[in-house]
Amino acid sequence: MLNPGRNSLIKKSAEDYAIEAVTALKAAQDSWKIPDETVQLVQSLSITEIASHITVVGWEQLIQAARDVMQAETVLPESTAWTRSYVLQGLQYFQTARARRGVMDAVAEKE
């Protein structure tokens, strides 16, 4: 579950989202054709089991994880240096622009 904004603003847990999903199952069935076996599977699982498949992530956490991967030169070959630089600049711009608006915290550039 991707939450926009600061990580500190995440208020719901994976269990909260699991409860919302189970509660919304009937409305979802009314709107979309959901296979009966999928409905039965969801109904047979506990909230804890459903929640174990949900990861709650904030934008800041997602951006930092992407930056960490892009900066790990052992993960990406040297031939991707230009692409890596371009993506890192884009991620930095995204976060800086939102920090200016007060939606996210600014993150210092890693050396």
pLDDT in tens, 9-40: 888 999 999 999 999 999 999 999 999 999 99
Integer Cα distance of 72 and 55 in angstroms: 23
Phi, psi values for residue 36, rounded to 5°: -55, -40
Residue-level pLDDT at 43? 94
Classify residue 29: in a domain, yes or no: yes
Classify residue 111: in a domain, yes or no: no
Quick check: 91 and 67 in contact, CB under 8 A?
A: yes
Classify residue 95: in a domain, yes or no: yes
Question: Do 63 and 44 sit in the same domain of this protein?
Answer: no
Q: 3-class secondary structure for 24-84?
A: CHHHHHHHCCCCHHHHHHHHHCCHHHHHCCCCCEEHHHHHHHHHHHHHCCCCCCHHHHHHH
| pLDDT beyond 70 at 109 | no
- Please state the rounded mean pLDDT for residues 63-88: 80
| pLDDT beyond 50 at 111 | no
Quick check: 84 and 76 in contact, CB under 8 A?
A: yes
| pLDDT beyond 70 at 68 | yes
Average pLDDT for the chain: 86
